[in-house]
Chains A and B, each alone.
Chain A
Amino acid sequence: MPPADHAGRGAGRDGVEQGVERGRTRGVDGGCERGADRGFERGVALARAARRGDTLALHDLLDHLTPYISRICRPIALDDGPDATQEALVAVFTSLRSLRDPEALYGWVRGISVREAVRVAKRAARARPAESADVPERGDPQLAADIDDVLSRLSPQHRAVLVLRDVEGMDEESAAAVLGVPAGTAKSRLHRARQSFRKAWNG
């Protein structure tokens, strides 16, 4: 599996991280460090072989990256996570030949996945503006216990910065670079996202 748990190292332990951590451990390989390193090496080796024309390696790379991309897209695009995952996969595999350094595979994939997930989530929000009324009430304990419901109260941009910082464990500058915004903007978005998340989480 991909190095899902290179993420989260150094993340704080406030309500936001704990909440996201709960969401993360539900459907993803918990992954010890050695397993994550093996996953990293396998992904890089598959990417190298695929770029040399081995389509079976390309096939295995698709198997390998799909859960990783899904894990990034789902908390950002929520119900549209499968669409976002598909679009991110197409974007990643279309431009795989442009990846100069296969060692940078995961960072590169992560950047594309976040951008695609935000794009799909924004598009969905435009197409279904009325659904914002369906957001669960803060006082509903059953729904509030579900991380997806809490995340659904945030904007796609806020979900993206939370995923990068608190799920993927990126620093502010790297997260800002992925999102294509200045570091200060990423910082203030993260602050607002954490504040909103904490409010919703604590109900």
Chain B
Amino acid sequence: MTQTNVGRLRVMGAAIRGAHLVEGVLPSSFDEVWDVMGDLEGGFGDFQPDMRSVRVLRVDGDRVEALARSRYGMRAHFHGVLRPGWGWLQSRFLVVGMAADALDDGRTRVALTGGVRVPGRPALVPIGARGELEQAMRRLGERVR
């Protein structure tokens, strides 16, 4: 089975109504990219929209629990999964999904999704999400450069 992380994120995006998926190819190696994306208390907060700080509360295998604080003081208590090249975090109101795959030429394909949850069904509020994700992708590109 050779399903890619980005392919998996496309499946998640297909399942969640209103979810946007932003993809890009970064000129850096997978390790360089994932060192930023997968570092919840460091690089993750630097490129994800509206994350002032993130504190990891618990790690159990690939399961993580983390507390994020926004610039406006709001907090999000995330539960989720973090694996090399893969992250899926969910709080009561937010979802963050990210994926990265090494390409044969040494570059890295990256995909991001997420946004504000719609209660009671697998859906995200579509308004503004694409712009935020594109901004996150730009920031990530600058951060790993």
Binding site for B on A (CB under 8 A): 50-56, 58-59, 62, 66-67, 70, 82, 85-86, 89-90, 93-94, 96-97
**Cβ-neighbour of A55 out of B1, B7, B117 (below 8 A):** B117
User: Interface residues of B toward A: which range?
Assistant: 20 to 34
Within 6-44 of B, Cβ neighbours of A (below 8 Å) are at 7-8, 10-12, 14-17
Find B14's partner among A52, A70, A82, A94 (CB 8 Å cutoff): A94
What is the chain B residue whose CB lies nearest that of A56?
B90
| Chain A residue at minimal CB-CB distance from B16 | A55
Bound Cα distance from A66 to B81, whole angstroms: 17
Instruction: Find out whether the CB atom of B12 lies under 8 angstroms from the CB atom of A52.
Output: no
Give min CB distance, B103 to chain A, whole Å. Answer: 16
Please indicate the chain B residues that have their CB under 8 angstroms from the CB of A86 in the complex: 3, 7, 10-11
Return 29 A-B CB contacts under 8 Å, by A number: A52-B120, A52-B121, A53-B118, A53-B120, A53-B121, A54-B90, A55-B12, A55-B16, A55-B90, A55-B95, A56-B79, A56-B80, A56-B81, A58-B15, A58-B16, A59-B81, A59-B88, A62-B8, A62-B12, A66-B8, A67-B1, A70-B1, A70-B3, A82-B1, A82-B2, A86-B7, A89-B3, A93-B11, A97-B122
Residues on B with C-beta less than 8 A from A59 are 12, 80-81, 88
B binding-site residues for A, Cβ under 8 Å: 1-3, 7-8, 10-12, 14-17, 79-81, 88, 90, 95, 117-123
When distances are taken between beta carbons in the complex, the residues of chain B under 8 Å from A53 are 117-123
Which A residues lie within 8 Å of B8 (CB)?
A: 62, 66
- Are A58 and B3 touching (Cβ within 8 A)? no
Rounded to whole Å, the gap between the CB of A88 and the closest CB of chain B is: 10
**Smallest CB-CB separation from B80: which chain A residue?**
A56
Task: Give the docked Cα–Cα distance between A66 and B12 (Å).
Answer: 12
* Cβ contacts under 8 Å, B95 to chain A: 55
- A62 near B11: Cβ-Cβ < 8 Å: yes
